[in-house]
């Protein structure tokens, strides 16, 4: 028996705001959407267009309070083919929340407070 990654999920408060962020910050595009029959939730799958891995955004219609992310010790990581260009773009978006210049990495924060690690393409 073997297993392979399918997707990661993040719950979001404002679906459109999150879709705009992930498109602008990381170029992720919607590939699939599932609306529950009663419209209580929506699942949107995003793709980088290169790998088969997907990011699933879950929007719960009746959720009004922010998600409690605890210590937020988990994260997703992305490589950037143009690390300097990505850094400049994210700085202009004012979404960089942590930088470790010694390690050559930084993190951006999405609208719900999730951290996303940005790495150079080749390490």
Give dist(CA 63, CA 67) in Å, integer. Answer: 9
Determine the pLDDT at residue 64. Answer: 94
123, pLDDT greater than 70: no
CATH classification code of 7-62+75-120: 3.10.180.10
From the list 30, 65, 101, 117, the catalytic residue is: 117
Residues 8-43: tens digit of each pLDDT: 999 999 999 999 999 999 999 999 999 999 999 999
82, pLDDT greater than 80: yes
pLDDT, mean over the chain: 94
Determine the pLDDT at residue 4. Answer: 87
* Residue 58 φ/ψ region, left for φ over 0, alpha for ψ in the -120 to 50 degree band, beta for the rest: beta
2, pLDDT greater than 90: no
Question: For strand 96-100 and strand 105-109, is the pairing parallel, antiparallel, or unpaired?
Answer: antiparallel
The stretch 84-92 carries a mean pLDDT of: 97
In this structure, are residues 86 and 118 in contact, taking their beta carbons and an 8 Å threshold? Answer: yes
CA-nearest of 22, 50, 29, 73 to 121 is: 50
**pLDDT-derived band at 80, boundaries 50, 70, 90:** very high
What is the residue extent of each domain of the chain?
7-62+75-120
Torsion of CA 32, 22, 76, 15, to 10 degrees: -60
Q: Is 117 a catalytic residue?
A: yes
């Amino acid at each position: 028996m073997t297993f392979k990654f399918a997707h990661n999920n993040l719950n979001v408060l404002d679906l459109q705001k999150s879709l705009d962020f992930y498109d602008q910050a990381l170029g992720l595009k919607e590939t699939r959407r599932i609306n529950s029959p009663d419209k209580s939730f929506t699942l949107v799958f995003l793709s980088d267009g290169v790998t088969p891995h997907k990011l699933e955004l879950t929007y719960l219609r009746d959720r009004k309070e922010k998600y409690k992310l605890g210590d937020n010790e988990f994260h997703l990581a992305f490589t950037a083919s143009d690390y300097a260009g990505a850094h400049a773009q994210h700085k202009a978006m004012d979404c960089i929340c942590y930088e470790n210049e010694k390690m050559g990495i930084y993190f951006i924060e999405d609208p719900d407070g999730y951290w996303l690690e940005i790495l150079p393409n080749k390490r």
